[in-house]
Amino acid sequence: MSVESNSPYTVFIDEAERRVAVLDQRLLPHRVEYVDLKNAQEAAEAIRDMTVRGAPLIGVTGAAGMALAADESTETGFLIEAANLLKSARPTAVNLNWAVDFMLKRLKGMEPDRRRKAAWHLAAEICEQERSMSIRLAKHAQTIIEALYLKLGRPLNILTHCNAGKLATVELGTATAGIYTAFEAGIPLTVFADETRPRLQGTLTAWELKAAGVPVCLIADNAGGELMREGGIDLVIVGADRIAANGDTANKIGTYLKALAAADNQIPFYVAAPISTFDWTAKSGGDIPIENRSGDEIRWVRGIDKHGHETEVCITDPGIATVNPSFDVTPARLITGFITDRGVFVPEDLKDLRVNSHV
């Protein structure tokens, strides 16, 4: 699919033409290419191999996968199989389960001859919901950033981990949403982006912020604690892949360590996520499944050599054993608050949020 290289879009759902295209994030920041998805199997593979990534975007892609499945067959049994395939692609990100189950429930309640058209309309609707979600979330996040700026009376230094920006969603992002709008409103700030090994999603945060003109500094994962100890960080905002009912939060591996360092240095630590990221069936972090991925993600690093050629290099003995959990769980006690599309909540308020969320 031909798309301008500076396009901000991460996913295209063409309801009229019944086409889906996604930004291939495995190639970033060195190449910008889009991939057409033809069926539910390809959508599941795009989620599994991280062609698309970020909990909200994974959810949208899952919904698109269900629309593609309806193009193949509108039989209930086939749609159930497609839903199970899609949900198994990434077990930790609850947005995927939410979007796929929403699609399946709505389609099962319709006559088969109505399902194909309805599936595409629902997928496009979920995509638009995620877009408007990030705009609403940005307003609440900006309020926190503005208040801190007024309190300190100087430019702010904000640390984030992984990528919870435009590339992980459909519009402004989650963790970066308020950063974008606060910067546009004239608040002076610099973002410190953890590189986020082993998949280096933090380099994508740095790439997209730089492209938007937001001051950003890429740092090694282990540098964050020292910067906090030195007083060089004023605020930490991260995204989330699943939040339990008590506020325990699963996010990209390394988040827990940043939360510990923030707590030790009395630095506000916020989690930014839409309501769809809350899993009310999970009582605590112990109920959140943690995805374990291939050790090759640790052994091999993709990049550009000094001649400008894309390449992959092995950074260790390829026979060395590895353990590669993709996420960790940050206890609610280390989280200052949750920035959502419905407001800002402290962990103790989540019970009321659950009652009113209807999720």
The catalytic residue positions are 241
* Neighbouring C-alpha atoms within 13 Å toward the C-beta of 57: 31
Task: Provide φ and ψ at 174, rounded to 5°.
Answer: -115, -70
Angle at 308 (CA atoms; ends 303, 314), nearest 5 degrees: 30
CA 78 to chain centre: 29
Helix crossing, 177-184 with 112-152: angle to 10°?
50
Q: Which of 57, 180, 23, 223 is nearest to 130 (CA)?
A: 57
Alpha-helix runs per DSSP H in the chain? 40-48, 55-72, 76-87, 94-108, 112-152, 177-184, 201-211, 224-229, 255-264, 296-299, 350-357
Identity at 97, one-letter amino acid code: N
Identity at 54, one-letter amino acid code: G
Identity at 140, one-letter amino acid code: H
Quick check: 174 and 134 in contact, CB under 8 A?
Answer: yes
End-to-end Cα spacing for the chain = 35
